[in-house]
Structure 1
């Protein structure tokens, strides 16, 4: 007799779950199937069955009663609970399957079980109002954050669940617990690579922000703060516990040697998500200072951490702006972290306590860089200069300095490492004047600020930090030109045809 299909077995179970309960056993046997299609079909069917049983309260831990006193229903529920726990173990094993589609489905099924079980608790702990199945999440995290197998592809799929504050909070607690228990265990590169994607997804709000941020919960995604009194949605992050967990995790992480990639990610993640929660952020001073002194991309990434220590924790670093000035080299326009650098530079030069002669050096350095900067970065740099001139009105003298008309009579010393001694205040912005004749209309238009009154408000440089050549080309193509503009002395006979056909779409032979 031909075996029933998964669909037929599922239909039988839904018709009569008591009479056809053995369908679960049949489907669980199919979890051993080598064919991916059969395996995924069995997982989906079992997911539907166990979710139905959870919702109908058929999966529960029974009170301790001697077997001889148990009713048929009690025995059925004990058996179903045993199968449910066995199903979890099988799904955890399937996280090691060769096919990524099977791994992902197994993890999503475990998460679905977790969500449904939280709403329909299998095990109720006395004194708990919010029944998040932490023990289920703990076993999942232990399987994902392993020391031997790279689980990053799976872990990245958890990002959509981290938007739920309960899921994020309990994940943080579990990771902290894991790191404390494994303190003496050598952290392998695989372990660290598995751990970091999770840490990057955790963003605990400050204690005073709880009343203003909407609260999304894993056990009830529709729950908002107006329903916070509802026992189903009655979850609040324990900030003290979250803060302690973050301190435990990060103080341990920095004790271990990090790969270059993880080192760079630490420099980004700690200032943005961690420092505001640390008991004593000054403990990270050596980490950021050593990084800032390394030069290159590492210095660039350490900028934010060093600035926070100076600005908020009274760290004395007299050479901060000198080193920042040194980072303004032509290669900054080709760095991977260029957008981040200019946004931070804008923040660092926004303080009214910085002397004008120091800012003059940055203005002049930026103006000199426009002579060698790639075309997509020119508008960004020019608008940055305008912003600095607006913040420090005394620097407007750089716009019109009749004694300096070009490089020959420019007192500014571009090779001087100390911005204070560079004589920038005695110079002028002749570099910007030269850009008024730039081939790109967008650049020449912005450079025209030196012949007009400065704008009333600062430019938003955020929309220019990632401009590409393609965007410059598309913008230029939209500019209307007058007919009859000569482009060559001799009528061409043919034209280059490029693969992307962008040139042909903008020009035509007549």
Structure 2
């Protein structure tokens, strides 16, 4: 029975004799086309089912596999997915996916019956058939992997992912049976199709090259939700495959074309997203005694799949590959910022050797700007939880206090972290005073939304470090100081250009900047700055209430404010904006106005509101 094939374009060619296209009614042409397409598709579906049943019924029909492979390879032509007249070759009911599903059932049946296994008692003819079937299986896996990588769209990729994972499970269980039969016991070595899983992971990483970001991330979500997040063996070998895939792509991109460099960038972003979904770090071997994708699971408890240390080692290597690319990439800076955003919550818990992560964090910390702010949380996690020594931490933190900080969108996150950094009562008073003084100086030219969050934070720091409260009001102690203050005033001893907080002499200065803020043009800033001049009766302010302030929120607060008593304002509405200052044209003395004077008179008349 011949296979009914559709044209690659899916459209009818216009006759060369026709000078202009004729507008067709749906009842006349389009309905006929739809009926023909539906008939052709139904014929192909029936042919697929017939070919599958013949293969499963007798070995003499194995050649039908070739025809099914040809149908599975016939995807939509380039650009046809978005064509309104397309027949929907990319949906789950297409002949391409129907053939792929049929082939999956065929090969799973062959794997289960052992028809793809070489045995010593096979004849030469049977061995040739087995080798041929293995070649067709490899060809079929290539078709599925192309679909997973987004060759025919998001729907086909999701379906192909399910099919190839079922095939992986069947291959793994067939290998387990063969190993058990060879060893003569059920305690044979655990077999897992690592090469096939590595190809699947590679396709998931590179799916972003053909699919949009949402579709590629949705494919990774499905893989983690159904397989890697639930199955211990899939997660273990996914980590292992991630590092090897990124290493091979990086090797291909070294000295290669621009397309290879772009591929490694896409793969790194895909790897980062997929690995970030695997955030459940096992704490004991009992956490690993769960579902296995390839059954039966390893019998020996000494297997690597039951080892928490081995799991963390595989995850550590995978994350190191991503971080190394993020640090070295000059074309994709967003990946570095995304990695820093989850460094302390998702990435660091997997690391058994935190010092391997220190190089990446310190490089980002030294980069300056927003990258340094994002690296703070990861670096502080290593210092606090893993006892990593970083002597220049506070000096670098002090250098981040610049004019850009109070304008940054990461300002709230920075103050939350700095509140933890400076919370210890064992810090030198010189250091704490330097931070308070520098922030007070920055408030002089900061936006109002930043000032209203800095001032309460300074108040809290003064409550935590009472040794710094004398900076609020410093009184000259000697007669010479009082005389100099009365004549010429005193210079501020604070050195704003000093990078070492222990040498800035801020402890000898005072917070006069906060007094100047009490005369700020914005009433909210002036009000909040006056808390420094009042008695410190409040234990602490909740700075979270001030972090979300912006120009918009402060303006809306002014509009929504209830005015209990209207202010007394005396004003007079002028009748004119421009007042005449020249003599009118043709006055009593007979003078004639110039052209400019005439234009001025016209302007005054136009703006007369009387």
Within the alignment, does 1:453 sit opposite 2:536 as a pair?
Answer: yes
Report Cα offsets for 1:36-87 as digits up to 9, x if no partner. Answer: 24244543456689779989998562323599xxxxxxxxxxxx99999877
Q: Following the alignment from structure 2 to structure 1, what is the Cα–Cα distance between the partners of residues 410 and 372? A: 11
- Return closer, same or farther for 1:82/1:425 CA change in 2, 3 Å cut-off: same
On the 8 A contact 2:198/2:245 being kept in 1, the answer is no
Within the alignment, does 1:189 sit opposite 2:233 as a pair?
Answer: no
Q: Following the alignment from structure 1 to structure 2, what is the Cα–Cα distance between the partners of residues 313 and 360? A: 28
Pairing of 1:30-429 with structure 2 (within 5 A): 31-32=75-76, 35-36=80-81, 37-40=86-89, 42-45=91-94, 61-64=111-114, 89-94=142-147, 102-113=152-163, 124=173, 125-126=175-176, 137-145=197-205, 153=213, 155-158=216-219, 160-161=221-222, 162=224, 164=229, 166=231, 169-179=236-246, 185-187=252-254, 189-197=261-269, 198-203=271-276, 204-208=279-283, 239-251=308-320, 254=324, 257-259=328-330, 261=333, 262=335, 264=337, 267-268=340-341, 270-312=343-385, 314-335=387-408, 337-401=410-474, 410-429=492-511
Q: Following the alignment from structure 2 to structure 1, what is the Cα–Cα distance between the partners of residues 359 and 520? A: 45
Say how many residue pairs are matched.
Answer: 461
On the 8 A contact 1:411/1:426 being kept in 2, the answer is yes
Q: Determine helix, strand or coil for the equivalent of 1:453.
A: coil
Q: Following the alignment from structure 1 to structure 2, what is the Cα–Cα distance between the partners of residues 82 and 285? A: 47
On the 8 A contact 1:368/1:431 being kept in 2, the answer is yes
1:435 match? 517
2:564 match? 482
Report Cα offsets for 1:281-304 as digits up to 9, x if no partner. Answer: 334555544554444444444434
Q: Following the alignment from structure 2 to structure 1, what is the Cα–Cα distance between the partners of residues 407 and 170? A: 54
Q: Determine helix, strand or coil for the equivalent of 2:404.
A: helix
- Return closer, same or farther for 1:63/1:438 CA change in 2, 3 Å cut-off: same
On the 8 A contact 2:48/2:102 being kept in 1, the answer is no
On the 8 A contact 1:180/1:248 being kept in 2, the answer is no
- Return closer, same or farther for 1:174/1:15 CA change in 2, 3 Å cut-off: closer
- Return closer, same or farther for 1:336/1:155 CA change in 2, 3 Å cut-off: farther
**What's the Cα RMSD here?**
5.2
Q: Following the alignment from structure 2 to structure 1, what is the Cα–Cα distance between the partners of residues 251 and 391? A: 39
Larger radius of gyration: 2
Aligned-pair CA distance for 1:175: 0.6
Structure 1: runs of 5+ lacking an equivalent: 68-79, 220-235, 495-510
On the 8 A contact 2:69/2:140 being kept in 1, the answer is no
Tell me the TM-score normalized by structure 1: 0.68
Structure 2: runs of 5+ lacking an equivalent: 1-34, 56-63, 118-132, 177-186, 255-259, 294-304, 478-484, 577-610
- Return closer, same or farther for 1:93/1:310 CA change in 2, 3 Å cut-off: closer
Aligned-pair CA distance for 1:379: 2.4
1:508 match? none
Q: Following the alignment from structure 2 to structure 1, what is the Cα–Cα distance between the partners of residues 90 and 474? A: 77
Choose between structure 1 and 2 for higher RCO, CA contacts under 8 A separated by at least 6 residues. Answer: 1
Tell me the TM-score normalized by structure 2: 0.59
Q: Following the alignment from structure 1 to structure 2, what is the Cα–Cα distance between the partners of residues 356 and 107? A: 61
On the 8 A contact 2:111/2:170 being kept in 1, the answer is no
Deviating more after overlay: 452-461 vs 238-247 = 452-461
On the 8 A contact 1:114/1:133 being kept in 2, the answer is no
Q: Following the alignment from structure 1 to structure 2, what is the Cα–Cα distance between the partners of residues 490 and 59? A: 94
Aligned-pair CA distance for 1:108: 2.0
Deviating more after overlay: 282-291 vs 129-138 = 129-138
Aligned-pair CA distance for 1:328: 0.7
Q: Following the alignment from structure 2 to structure 1, what is the Cα–Cα distance between the partners of residues 207 and 104? A: 33
- Return closer, same or farther for 1:144/1:14 CA change in 2, 3 Å cut-off: closer
Deviating more after overlay: 354-363 vs 17-26 = 17-26
2:5 match? none
On the 8 A contact 1:61/1:81 being kept in 2, the answer is no
Q: Following the alignment from structure 2 to structure 1, what is the Cα–Cα distance between the partners of residues 274 and 385? A: 25
